[in-house]
Structure 1
Amino acid sequence: MNLSIFFEPLNEDIFAQLDKPRTLGAYIGRFTGKFPDWRSADIALIGVNERRGQGTVEQHSVAPARVVRQKLYNLHKGAGRCHIVDLGNLRPGITLDDTYLRLKEIVEVLISHNTIPVIIGGSHDLEYGQYMGYEHMERVVNMVTVDSSVDMTEDLDVPANRKQLRQILMHEPNFLFSLGQVGYQSYLVDPEVMATLEKLHFEAYRVGEVHRSMQEMEPVVRMADLLTFDISAIRHQDAPGSTPANPFGLTGEEACQLCWYAGLNDNMTSLGIYEYDPELDDRELTATTIATMVWYFIEGFYHRKNETEFSSSKFTKYAVAFNDNPDRMVFYKSKKSEKWWLEVEPLSDDKGPRIVPCSYEDYLQAIKGEVPNRWILTQARIG
């Protein structure tokens, strides 16, 4: 497929000083004259200057991804291989729905060729297009979104970037197995929305829970096929380039940690970072934060362990028995990374067990005779 028809080439002038040896700029193949060979790339960067989902018809005078590129390309490459392409900026569709469909088609083609799209810029509702790119896979998928609010309102009068999760949940065919909401702030979310997430057996973590135990977010991110990140989830001190300004939230370091987890995740096949507004970005601090997040994602990717064969000798199997109960709870621990997984039995006999990421704390809870909440939620979703 000729993906180049969807993209605008990049201007050479912004790369004049970005080809320093041993920096990412010297290794990324970019769309300036000839469209890069994305089929053999590990990761493809995509810029999107589309904010009609915010309720405005005007696009940014400066494409968000342009500023991020200037920061990212100057960062030093880590050790090991680096096969990344920059496809340029997506040409927005005539309508917002057209942009969703273009993004869907691009994501679908890239992940079908084992190339991970990293989407930068645009309003958060574009995650709907990112999500639809998985429809062709004919299996359920897992999604994690990092946001200070939960974009699931039923109000028809609000902009699209405040209700795209509802679009995702209502989409037919429904292929969403799990949703993890990370970093939300209770005073920004309608209690009825949280009640809906609970009824659907989805996981949700307040920003205080992230602060308290970042390590417990690792299995949440490890569960996901796709991750979306609303920059408003990061506090204003570290990322001023978003609306509305948020004095509280994740730190830039925590955002990078989540992206590192995402990169390490063997099942993660797309990342979207949304709601960056360069016109509000004091001293381009947000662009630096986003560039560093992408750097950590890239580094995480090149440190993947390919831990998916649980029957192999690479894992230690633990069976936890409960008092006065013939059933056992089975855990797996990787001998290489020391990460944990949990085997969840379905409620019905016609379905097989599912192995999901968990934490050491889940194992400790089980040996105390308590059923981990992650096991309960997963079993409820399996049915």
Structure 2
Amino acid sequence: MASRSPPQSWEYLLTKEELLWRNHYVWLKEHDYLLRPRYNPDWVPSQWIAGKELSELGFDLRFEDSQANAKFSKNYKVMDATRISDGAFVVLKPINIAMYEEEIPIGLWFSEEPQASDPANHCVPILEVLDFPDVPGKRIIVMPQLCRYDKPRFDTVGEAVEFMRQVFQGLQFMHKNNIVHRDCNAENIMMDVTRLFPTPYHPLDTRMKRDWSGRVSHLTRTQRPVKYYLIDFGLSVRYAPGAHRPPEPIVLGGDRSAPEFRMKDGVLPMECDPFPTDIYYIGNLLRTDFVEGRGYGPRPPKLGFEFLRPLMEDMVQDDPALRPTMDEVVRRFDEIIRGLSRRKLRSRVVKVDDDFDCFYAVTHWFRMIASIIRRREPIPSP
């Protein structure tokens, strides 16, 4: 087959979402943010250098620059970058300010003092806000690079308990400051895993090194405690201190299962009190990700979390007025945790469908013994 000359531009290999970033690569670099080589206007796919045929270019997943921020990726709405001035890994998120007018003001308020230094604040900080030079109505918020809360998976019950404690504390902090999240589902709870990974991981796959040269290893949360964050305030509402909190129009986020969204007597409700709905979202996360699992997808229940059931069931009651407030949730959760033994907290987190693996069981025991010798707390708070 006769060879073909490479095209002048490889942008045809990029998705529509990726072209936005490619077109602003130089501008972002001028503002201290460097995107991956894939988005450099002068990018030549490494597959071409490796001698691939033109028809094969751009789709060989063995190469780092084939990792696309596309719609089949959960991260396609944001873009990872490196801050040139200090090498920090960050995330860039474009915001449609007409559609999500409160996301930036609320995020900036949580990022200001004295809120930023409050240990109860678990809202993701906004590091900077940029204005697109040629995209009217859109701004970019810069945030630390974070990972989904359960990747890597929990090693011990105590690690999962600390996750719940921080999330409860974070939502309580929001509610105390008259702010309701309205979309606090599993996809919007992240963690800073910088200390877990001695070698930087790839932003699209935490199992791989950042340069895609191989698998990356990580420590446990007990060895290196982490901090969890609530993200995405696009649907959030802020009330003035002491102001009346009227019902809000119902908006559907990632979790659409709340009972107050269901049709009643043939009528679809149009509004609800969003504070109890926040309680439902977090209670439903306990139900689907820990106690009972989901009836769909790869989300089996985890063994050993039945101690959460009484609190969880109260948080997901059909009548929003019967659900506990966040203050009550935090108080009851603290009482539950005080009743757990240190042995229970150090026990391994096992999913229902996990096959018995002697290697993992033995290595867990070695880690547990090492933690006891080093006097690491079974609930690893940062």
Max Rg structure: 2
Same fold (TM over 0.5): no
TM-score w.r.t. the length of structure 1 is: 0.24
TM-score normalised per structure 2 = 0.24
